[in-house]
């Protein structure tokens, strides 16, 4: 290792410091690593020093240890050496979107048939990109096909389905014909269904019946996502509720289905009307970032963890998500998940 | 009005720029090459295309032309009916017909502002190397020859040399089994002088050989309206991508990070783009282990998504803004 060089984390390997631990979020390769505090300081606080100068700062007696650690990071391809430190800027963490609403959750209900055209037109106007379509009752193949057909002309690039039954014989054909369907969650699945779909990475099955939106908001290590979109969006906005809008089974329009406040009912108004007339209520939660939320603000996972404002520890709008059992002050996951089910 | 010339399929970039144009209330029209060939009529010198009136157009984003070939090669009837020799004549004839129509469209729009002028969409690599040199950019030494002796002499001067296509990289396809078609791409290949002695015939089809630059990292620059958006690509660690970065390694993708060109290099890159008359383009450079920056080539209609996303430059928005501004300027 040439000691006259600078050592830099690649711009897409970003350290996030918690109360006790530090992780490096590798947003290019979608993973994260824990590193120790001293190493964090070397990479962040001393980033404008050459390796030589860093060793000088800590003392010759630590040279081997420092070089060893840096070598390790280089092998993992988290850092690179350079003589031109100033030519490698940090990643700009601004998050921008052309859409008014990026995510829409629709719970299928009695209102749907009559309002379908109007809803689809609003999906286009609002520039919706992702749609989660939830069915709490069995759905026929015509109904599902019609809906998928009518959203063809929208800007939606990803569709998530929550189903009680899968109304098609030929699942491969369905997935090929409906490329925008990114994932399907099949609730109330039988053992046979579990077996049939186990090799499909787009399909997951659960044995219990999902009958309402109370299942949402569970936070665990498996739910972390390390990617540019979430990382940047959560710097300035709420990582779950920003630019999200939902219609629940009875037609109520809400930010998210599990949040108590309704903004109106689709039988009496439209999505665009709600957005235009009640913008302030619509975006009540949009700007609450993890850096403002109790406990989360001290957690190293805060930019890879999606927030939940519907299920919280207290009435305080800034309180910690209820269904998370991580404690960033001691770095431990507690055994019992509070408040779930 | 902004005119977007694109193709109908596999064009996420076009869609994303259009989303931003919508947000800015941009006045634009998208013309896919397929639709021009299938739907537009030319009557007494006027192009009739839905609401399309060439007078209203101010600025043109010249992106792509068509997703479909002129002949559906999967349909073997063409060969059977005409025989192999005639099918190439047919293809040539259709190409000419298509070429004339396209050039008529271009001449109708000749006076407009183009992101890439029609005659500039396929770059002349050799001309561009010369223009780059005249703008004080370093370029690798090269030889274009069909003669083994001359090539050997050239190779001996340099540790390793590479061979690459003079025009665009062709894509071949071969059917492996009935339904499975495999795409074969010509990647840049690297040789030593010895390999040339041993492996190469005395004469061969005239080809471009360049001195191989040992790189510290590669640089992709997206040039837009006199601004450079650069990205460093660390492909040197990875055996699989040492010579040609397109030879992707998916398991552990090369590190791609935002980069700022040294002032002087950036000025020379801009000088090059102005001199070669590109308003947008995607340039390949190399930072060599000896500390120099080498210009390799420019792709005039290059993808910018692969720079925009990893570096979070949001070039789709910047391009949309550029088109809107140009449209206002002319109007
Ligand atoms: S706020 Fe909570 S309940 Fe609502 S969608 Fe997000 S995670 Fe689910
Ligand atoms: S403490 Fe907050 S940021 Fe950390 S894992 Fe739990 S919910 Fe996520």
* B228 contact A CB<8A: no
Other C-beta atoms within 10 Å of B21: how many?
25
Other C-beta atoms within 10 Å of A142: how many?
9
**Distance from the A233 Cα atom to the nearest Cα atom in chain B, whole angstroms:** 12
Please give the share of chain B, as a percent, with pLDDT higher than 70. Answer: 84
Chain B CB contacts of A11 under 8 Å are 257-258, 311
- Residue A323: CB within 6 Å of ligand 2? no
| For residues B140-160, average pLDDT | 91
Please report the pLDDT score of residue B31 as a whole number.
Answer: 86
* B240 contact A CB<8A: no
Say if CB A80 and CB B255 are below 8 A apart: yes
The 8-class DSSP code of residue A148 comes to: H
The CATH 3.30.470.20 domain(s) of chain B lie at: 122-138+213-300
- Give the global pTM: 0.89
Residue A340 — pLDDT band, cuts 50, 70, 90?
very low
Residue B329 has pLDDT above 90, yes or no: no
Please report the pLDDT score of residue B9 as a whole number.
Answer: 76
Q: Whose CA is nearest to atom 8 of ligand 2?
A: A305
Please report the pLDDT score of residue A150 as a whole number.
Answer: 92
Please report the pLDDT score of residue A10 as a whole number.
Answer: 97
- Residue A301: CB within 6 Å of ligand 2? yes
Q: Whose CA is nearest to atom 1 of ligand 1?
A: A308
Q: Where are the alpha helices (DSSP H) in chain A?
A: 37-44, 51-58, 63-75, 112-126, 141-150, 171-177, 191-197, 228-236, 271-277, 279-282
Looking at chain B, which residue has its C-alpha nearest residue A94? Answer: B312
Q: Whose CA is nearest to atom 2 of ligand 1?
A: A308
Write down how long chain A is: 341
Looking at chain B, which residue has its C-alpha nearest residue A127? Answer: B19
Per-residue pLDDT of B173-193, as tens digits, reads 666 666 666 777 777 778 888
Q: Which of A172-186, A234-248, B175-189, B285-299 has the lowest mean pLDDT?
A: B175-189
Q: Exposed, middle or buried by CB within 10 Å (0-12, 13-18, 19+), for A323?
A: buried
Please report the pLDDT score of residue A339 as a whole number.
Answer: 44
Specify the ligand 2 atom closest to the Cα of A295.
1
Sheet arrangement for strand B255-259 = B255-259, B227-234, B215-224, B280-288, B293-299
The rounded distance, in Å, linking the Cα atoms of B38 and B60 is 21
Residues paired with B46 in a beta bridge:
B43
Residue A104's nearest CA partner among A140, A71, A79, A134 is A134
A29 → closest Cβ in B16, B252, B258: B252
Q: How far is CA A247 from the centre of its chain?
A: 20
Chain B CB contacts of A84 under 8 Å are 262
> Parallel, antiparallel, or unpaired for β B113-114 and B59-62?
parallel
Q: What angle do CA A336, A285, A182 make, to 5 degrees?
A: 70
Please report the pLDDT score of residue B80 as a whole number.
Answer: 63
Please give the share of chain A, as a percent, with pLDDT higher than 70. Answer: 98
The rounded distance, in Å, linking the Cα atoms of B1 and B50 is 14
Residue A215 — pLDDT band, cuts 50, 70, 90?
confident
Q: Which site among B257, B292, B321 would you substitute to test the A interface, given the most A Cβ atoms closer than 10 Å to its Cβ?
A: B257
Say if CB B220 and CB B204 are below 8 A apart: no
Per-residue pLDDT of B266-322, as tens digits, reads 999 999 999 999 999 999 999 999 999 999 999 988 789 999 999 999 999 999 999
- Residue A254: CB within 6 Å of ligand 1? no
Which position has the higher pLDDT, B10 or A95?
A95
The rounded distance, in Å, linking the Cα atoms of B75 and B79 is 8
Per-residue pLDDT of B196-205, as tens digits, reads 888 888 888 9
Q: What angle do CA B296, B317, A122 make, to 5 degrees?
A: 145
Residue A53 has pLDDT above 80, yes or no: yes
Residue B244 has pLDDT above 50, yes or no: yes
Say if CB B151 and CB B219 are below 8 A apart: no
Q: Which of A47-51, A119-123, B199-203, B316-320 has the lowest mean pLDDT?
A: B199-203
Please give the share of chain B, as a percent, with pLDDT higher than 90. Answer: 44
> Parallel, antiparallel, or unpaired for β A130-134 and A158-163?
parallel
Please report the pLDDT score of residue B283 as a whole number.
Answer: 96
The CATH 3.40.50 domain(s) of chain B lie at: 2-116
Distance from Cα A9 to the centre of ligand 2, integer Å: 25
Per-residue pLDDT of A130-159, as tens digits, reads 999 999 999 999 999 999 999 998 999 999
Chain B CB contacts of A89 under 8 Å are 258-260
Per-residue pLDDT of B119-148, as tens digits, reads 888 788 999 999 999 999 999 999 999 999
Residue A341 has pLDDT above 50, yes or no: no
Ligand closest to the CA atom of residue A326: 2
Interface of A with B (CB under 8 A): 10-12, 28-29, 77, 80, 84, 86-94, 96, 98-99, 127, 155, 228, 232
DSSP letters spanning A20-49? S-EEEEETTTTEEEEE-HHHHHHHHTTTTS
Q: Whose CA is nearest to atom 5 of ligand 1?
A: A256
Half-sphere exposure in the Cβ direction for A204 (13 Å, CA):
7
Q: Whose CA is nearest to atom 4 of ligand 1?
A: A256
Residue B52 — pLDDT band, cuts 50, 70, 90?
low
Helical (H) or strand (E) element with B78 = helix B77-108
Chain A CB contacts of B313 under 8 Å are 92
Q: Does domain B2-116 fall into CATH 3.40.50? A: yes
Residue B235 — pLDDT band, cuts 50, 70, 90?
confident
3-state helix, strand, coil in chain A (%, to 5): 30, 20, 50
CATH number of B122-138+213-300: 3.30.470.20
Which position has the higher pLDDT, B245 or B10?
B10
Please report the pLDDT score of residue B237 as a whole number.
Answer: 64
């Amino acid at each position: 290792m040439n000691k006259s060089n600078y050592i830099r984390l690649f711009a897409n390997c970003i350290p996030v410091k918690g109360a006790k631990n530090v992780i490096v979020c590798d947003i290019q390769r979608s993973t994260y690593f824990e590193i120790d505090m001293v190493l964090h300081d070397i990479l962040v606080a001393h980033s404008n020093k050459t390796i030589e100068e860093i060793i000088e700062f800590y003392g010759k007696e630590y040279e081997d240890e420092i070089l060893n650690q840096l070598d390790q990071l280089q092998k993992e391809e988290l850092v690179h050496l350079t003589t031109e430190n100033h030519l490698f800027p940090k990643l700009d963490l601004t998050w921008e979107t052309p859409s008014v609403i990026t995510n829409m959750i629709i719970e299928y209900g009695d209102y749907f048939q009559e309002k379908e055209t109007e809803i689809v037109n609003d999906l286009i106007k609002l520039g919706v990109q992702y749609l989660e379509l939830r069915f709490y009752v069995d759905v026929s193949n015509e109904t599902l096909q019609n809906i998928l057909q009518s959203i063809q002309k929208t800007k939606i690039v990803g569709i998530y389905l929550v189903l009680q039954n899968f109304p098609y014989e030929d699942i491969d054909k369905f997935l090929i014909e409906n490329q925008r369907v990114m994932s399907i969650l099949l609730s109330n699945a039988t053992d046979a269904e579990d077996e049939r779909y186990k090799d499909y990475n787009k399909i997951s099955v659960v044995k219990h019946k999902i009958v309402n939106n109370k299942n949402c908001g569970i936070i665990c290590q498996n739910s972390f996502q390390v990617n540019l979109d979430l990382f940047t969006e959560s710097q300035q906005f709420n990582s779950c509720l920003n630019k999200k809008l939902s219609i629940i089974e009875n037609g109520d329009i809400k930010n998210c289905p599990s949040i108590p406040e309704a903004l109106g009912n689709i039988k009496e108004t439209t999505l665009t009307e709600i957005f235009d007339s009640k913008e302030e209520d619509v975006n009540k939660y949009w700007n609450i970032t993890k850096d403002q939320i109790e406990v989360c603000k001290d957690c190293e996972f805060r930019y890879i963890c999606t927030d939940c404002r519907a299920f919280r520890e207290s009435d305080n709008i800034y309180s910690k998500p209820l269904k998370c059992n991580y404690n960033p002050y001691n770095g431990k996951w507690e055994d019992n998940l509070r408040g779930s089910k | 009005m902004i005119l977007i010339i694109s193709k109908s399929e596999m064009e996420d970039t076009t869609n994303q720029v259009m989303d931003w144009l919508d947000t800015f209330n941009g006045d634009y029209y998208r013309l896919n090459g397929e639709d021009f060939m299938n739907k537009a009529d030319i009557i007494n010198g006027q192009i009739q295309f839905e609401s399309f009136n060439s007078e209203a157009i101010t600025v043109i984003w010249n992106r792509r032309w068509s997703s479909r070939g002129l002949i559906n090669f999967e349909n073997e009837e063409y060969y059977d009916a005409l025989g192999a020799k005639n099918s190439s004549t047919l293809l040539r004839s259709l190409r000419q017909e298509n070429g004339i129509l396209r050039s008529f469209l271009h001449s109708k729009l000749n006076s407009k502002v183009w992101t890439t002028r029609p005659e500039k969409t396929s770059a002349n690599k050799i001309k561009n190397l010369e223009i780059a040199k005249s703008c004080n950019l370093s370029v690798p030494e090269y030889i274009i020859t069909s003669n083994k002796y001359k090539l050997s002499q050239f190779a001996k001067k340099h540790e390793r040399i590479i061979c690459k296509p003079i025009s665009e990289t062709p894509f071949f396809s071969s059917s492996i089994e009935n339904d499975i078609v495999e795409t074969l791409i010509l990647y840049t290949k690297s040789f030593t002088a010895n390999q040339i002695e041993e492996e190469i015939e005395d004469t061969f089809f005239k080809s471009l050989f360049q001195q191989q630059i040992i790189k510290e990292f590669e640089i992709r620059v997206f040039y837009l309206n006199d601004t450079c958006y650069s990205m460093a690509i660390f492909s040197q660690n990875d055996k699989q991508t040492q010579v040609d970065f397109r030879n992707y390694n998916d398991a552990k993708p090369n590190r791609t990070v935002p980069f700022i060109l040294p002032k002087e290099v950036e000025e020379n890159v801009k000088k090059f783009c102005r001199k070669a008359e590109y308003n947008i383009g995607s340039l390949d450079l190399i930072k060599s282990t000896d500390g120099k920056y080498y210009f390799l080539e420019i792709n005039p209609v290059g993808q910018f998504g692969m720079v925009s996303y990893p570096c979070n430059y949001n070039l789709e928005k910047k391009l949309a803004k550029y088109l809107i501004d140009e449209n206002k300027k002319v109007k």
